[in-house]
Amino acid sequence: MAVTMAENKMLNYALRALQLIFAIIVMGTGGYAIHVYRGYSSIIHTPDGDFYGYAGVPNAWGFLIFCAAWTVLVVILLIAGNAFADRALIGYIRIAVEVVAVLSWFAGWIAVAVNIGTEACSEGYSSCGALKAAAVFGAVEWLLFMVTATLAFSLFLNSKRQLRTSTT
């Protein structure tokens, strides 16, 4: 059953479309959270003098936006790679891209989820709701990439078992 699901092009296109839609949602909600976030400043007293420090947007929020932008490129690459699916090198590249996408989305939504409830996203900030939505859609995106990576890996393993005959 897993082989027929992996070979089903409509399922693959539907999952890729969902990945693309959720990446756009993450870009929108994460971008909004970054836009409305107001950092905080503090005066740090040291023996050498006072230091005025400003804490801006946490890096994890920008990394989640990077994951979403990178996903758009990945989905285009993986859909375009279907034309060359019989090449062994394309199979290796497809598996590598899927693994990197799975790991980056996992790291991205975990890093953003850790920021929820800290000074960066406390109850007083209006960006906290958008950030929570971005973290939830990031987790769903990670699950979608887990499904497509599993399907791509099973398809890759099954295609390696079949002997390829030369047409010449």
Tens-binned pLDDT, residue by residue, of the chain (168 aa):
454 555 678 888 899 999 999 999 999 999 998 888 876 677 778 888 887 777 778 888 899 999 999 999 888 887 876 666 556 677 788 889 899 999 999 999 999 998 887 766 766 667 788 888 999 999 999 999 999 999 888 877 776 555 555 566
Q: What is the C-alpha to C-alpha distance for residues 25 and 95, in angstroms, rounded to an integer?
A: 25
pTM of the model: 0.79
Q: What is the pLDDT of residue 7?
A: 61
